[in-house]
Copies of this chain bind each other. A is one copy, B any other.
């Protein structure tokens, strides 16, 4: 059965691939799995039919064979396990890759999202200019540690994993911020991730939606 995911009818990021459906598309492409996309409007995301799939009224959702999931971390983990991709075969390596998935989502992404939210929602507040450097310091702290750990390696722990997929997806949010430039190994890590054919296909597919070429 073909998996069905949901995505923004019109993504607020302008097709830059930052909406979270890109992460699921990427994982499915890494697994060589076809999928269908159902587009939802902002209004429809708050309707009971969508809330039944996603309790917090967001995208993406994932449906496959009677299973309905939300949260990209859980969906990417499910795809990895179901299709035998993106996770090492040994139990210890698998557990470490999952550590990196949670690190991306719970340790690295929150300060990055805070900066994004401040830029969108507090830009006109009188405190924004003074607060922005504080937010960027919090991001730099995380990048500093991540850069030190990555060192000269290609990926965070051996072969490319679901942990790298998620970490790269989070770092993509910083592309226009200028913050990555101080960490050349992280910029190169991100470029390696973006160069993967599976990412390229996922990015093109979400851009096609934004450009009106359909799901």
Point out residues on A near B: beta carbons under 8 Å.
Answer: 51, 55-58, 66-75, 77-78, 91-92, 95-96, 98-99, 101-103, 105-107, 109-110, 113-114, 121-122, 125-127, 130-131, 134, 142, 145-146, 148-149
Contact = CB atoms under 8 A, between A and B. Distances in A.
Given A56-B103, A106-B109, A145-B55, A66 B92 contact: yes
A103 B149 contact: no
Nearest to A103: B71
B127 A99 contact: no
Closest 9 CB pairs of A and B: A127-B127, A71-B102, A73-B102, A55-B149, A74-B99, A105-B106, A110-B110, A74-B98, A74-B102
B107 A56 contact: yes
Contacts of A145: 51, 55-57
A99 B125 CA distance: 35
A11 to B, nearest CB: 19
A71 B101 CA distance: 9
Contact of A106 (B66, B67, B98, B106): B106
A131 B72 CA distance: 29
A102 B62 CA distance: 14
A107 B110 CA distance: 10
